Amino acid sequence: MDEWLKHSTEVEASWVTADLTIFTVREGQLMVLLVERGVEPFLGRPALPGGYIQKDETLREGALRELWEEAGIDGRRLHLEQLGAYGEPRRDPRGRVVTIAYLALGPDLPAPVGGTDAERAYWAPVAQLQSDAQALAFDHAEILSDALEEVRTKLEYTAVATAFCGDSFTLSELRKVYEVIWGQVLDPSNFRRKVLNTPGFVQPTGEQRLPPTGRPAALYRRGTAWLLSPPLLRGGQQS
Amino acid sequence: MDEWLKHSTEVEASWVTADLTIFTVREGQLMVLLVERGVEPFLGRPALPGGYIQKDETLREGALRELWEEAGIDGRRLHLEQLGAYGEPRRDPRGRVVTIAYLALGPDLPAPVGGTDAERAYWAPVAQLQSDAQALAFDHAEILSDALEEVRTKLEYTAVATAFCGDSFTLSELRKVYEVIWGQVLDPSNFRRKVLNTPGFVQPTGEQRLPPTGRPAALYRRGTAWLLSPPLLRGGQQS
DNA sequence: AAGCGTTTAAGTCAACATGACCTTTAGGGG
DNA sequence: CCCCTAAAGGTCATGTTGACTTAAACGCTT
């Protein structure tokens, strides 16, 4: 590979990893999947799941493989999108490691199983992590923060909220996703009106679901639209 | 570095590059900066400017350095944001190369000077490139397409349009940015009302500018807000 | 079976935002 | 001095929003 280096000896090979920020809504909270590191550096510290990209896989394939290896989660049914690359020269004490951060979203996911490196995988409430962000390994606190901001924004102008719901869901469940992630209560009636008036956001299945108490709720599945127009803005809704 | 590889011999080091999609508005068109490649592969083919990230620089610093080396443009005054990572295993015939794509925006920029690798740098109209996208080297057509989509969307809900204008600008100039990038004509009066009613989007300088013909236009500079609320949606404006 | 609590569903209304269109203002050039 | 042009500002019918109220449909209790 050395013959490519023409102008500078300052170029060197890097290791490329994929790290995943996996969000789900559980018990009325936004949760993120963390692993307890089983190897140095940051041994024993919580971290986002991730690992090295292999020779013949795409970045996305690598992210999916790490998700499976480290937490036993099949990511093919999750919403998975790239967040961005993080490559500060000293973000990893071992050398130059550039990580490609992925954002994954899913409905209330199964409890993760331990990974191959004897890591322990578990769901952690995001709200609680914000206070002591120092706990996370590498620059994972920054990645998590960016991921959260990304999700909050995307809720407004895409149908990404449906990724947190199952195949069919009630409007209350969908609203709960917005409320948990935005951290604000939304008016049920206005929320319903907006969602139903946004073409392609959701479509009724015709089925119903019985809540623990109260009137049955109609079920919906996600519609064909990804971009919402008009968007669902979190503005000054008070109550 | 080899002691890190525990589970697989399938991991190998990668080369990490930065590629830039630099947009500007010139002559009523959206233009992108291209270079004619001076080395193999894709010798002589147009490509986005870019090159290898060096040992001790951040990804962003590398992007800025390549911009300077390949096109003689000082990017410190440009809006520069990361687009994402592109890492298909065979995107570069020389081996595993992961590129971090950056999006740069600037006001009508000076004609670029040739780069160090005897590349010729020039502005190309984006609209014209869409037709024969095959002309670009590597996966740069895909990167360009993603960059364009990103800019179109960000115009709606951020003040990024001001990055295409100089330090002070008229509302007509700002509107022209939207019209060129969205490819649709906007009503001048309604555009003015929306921009001025969006808190922090622009602020008046008190100065005026004389157009070639017509009434003098008030000058504005960018305001303090980055996110626009309410956003400037491109919906069904007809005329 | 009548009443109650609860949740979904649907309606009301004033305030505000939007798109289409029109009028006025302020320059330069003939 | 009139005309052309572009900026600036106004009008108005139509939609959308947030706050709030009312109706419907279930289980549960009495």
Query: Is residue B79 over pLDDT 70?
Result: yes
- pTM here? 0.92
For B52, nearest residue in chain A (alpha carbons): A11
Q: Which of A6, A14, A226 to mutate to test the interface with B (most CBs of B within 10 A)?
A: A14
B112 and B172 part of one domain = no
The answer to whether residue B177 sits within a structural domain is: yes
Query: Is the separation of the CB atoms in A216 and A209 below 8 Å?
Result: yes
The answer to whether residue B143 sits within a structural domain is: yes
Q: What is the pLDDT of residues B145-202, one digit of tens each?
A: 999 999 999 999 999 999 999 999 999 999 999 999 999 999 999 999 999 999 999 9
Query: Is residue B4 over pLDDT 50?
Result: no
The answer to whether residue A178 sits within a structural domain is: yes
Q: Crossing angle for the helix pair A171-182 and A188-197, nearest 10 degrees?
A: 110
Q: Does B53 touch chain A (CB under 8 A)?
A: yes
Q: Which of A54, A103, A197 to mutate to test the interface with B (most CBs of B within 10 A)?
A: A54
Q: Which residue from B46, B39, B56, B48 is spatially nearest to B18, judged by alpha carbons?
A: B48
Half-sphere exposure in the Cβ direction for B237 (13 Å, CA)? 16
Question: Residue A43, Cα to own-chain centre: how many angstroms?
Answer: 24
Query: A155 CA to C6 C1', in Å?
Result: 29
The tally of domains found in chain A comes to 2
Q: Does B100 touch chain A (CB under 8 A)?
A: yes
The answer to whether residue B230 sits within a structural domain is: no
B56 and B171 part of one domain = no
Write down the pLDDT at residue B40: 85
A216 and A106 part of one domain = no
A101 and A190 part of one domain = no
Q: Which of A149, A167, A196 is the last residue of a domain?
A: A149
A40 band by pLDDT with thresholds 50, 70 and 90: confident
The answer to whether residue A234 sits within a structural domain is: no
Alpha-helical (H) ranges within chain B are 59-71, 126-131, 140-157, 171-182, 188-197
Q: What is the pLDDT of residues B9-56, one digit of tens each?
A: 567 789 999 999 999 999 999 999 999 998 889 999 999 999 999 999
Instruction: Write out the residue range of the structural domain in which residue B210 sits.
Output: 158-222
What is the sign of the dihedral through the CA atoms of A106, A110, A115 and A121?
positive
B176 and B109 part of one domain = no
A66 and A184 part of one domain = no
The answer to whether residue A24 sits within a structural domain is: yes
Query: Is the separation of the CB atoms in B66 and B115 below 8 Å?
Result: no
B63 and B173 part of one domain = no
Residue predicted with more confidence, A8 or B187: B187
The answer to whether residue B140 sits within a structural domain is: yes
Inter-chain residue contact A95 with B54, CB threshold 8 Å: no
A84 and A119 part of one domain = yes
Q: Tokens representing B136?
A: 């670009």
A81 and A141 part of one domain = yes
- Residue A171: enclosing H or E segment and its boundaries? helix A171-182
Inter-chain residue contact B13 with A11, CB threshold 8 Å: no
For residue A67, CA distances in Å to A50, A107, B33 come to 7, 16, 38
B129 band by pLDDT with thresholds 50, 70 and 90: confident
Q: Which of B10, B11, B150, B232 to mutate to test the interface with A (most CBs of A within 10 A)?
A: B11
Residues of B in contact with A233 (CB under 8 A): 229-231
Inter-chain residue contact A59 with B85, CB threshold 8 Å: yes
Q: Which of B149, B167, B189 is the last residue of a domain?
A: B149
Q: Tokens representing A49?
A: 């799941």
Q: Does B233 touch chain A (CB under 8 A)?
A: yes
CB burial of A38-68 (b: ≥16 within 10 Å; e: otherwise) equals: eeeebeebbbbbbbbbbeebbbbebbbbbbb
The answer to whether residue B39 sits within a structural domain is: yes
- The Cα of B101 is separated from the nearest Cα of chain A by a number of Å equal to 9
Q: What is the pLDDT of residues B215-239, one digit of tens each?
A: 999 999 999 999 998 999 997 664 3
Q: Name the nucleotide with the smallest C1'–CA separation from A238.
A: D18
B114 and B176 part of one domain = no
B134 and B218 part of one domain = no
Query: Is the separation of the CB atoms in A104 and A67 below 8 Å?
Result: yes
CATH number at residue B218: 1.10.10.10
B72 and B11 part of one domain = yes
Neighbours of B172 (CB within 10 A): 16
Q: Which residue from B91, B102, B126 is spatially nearest to B21, judged by alpha carbons?
A: B102
Q: Which of residues 198-227 of B touch A (CB under 8 A)?
A: none
Average pLDDT, rounded, for chain A: 90
Inter-chain residue contact B82 with A84, CB threshold 8 Å: yes
Query: Is residue A120 over pLDDT 90?
Result: no
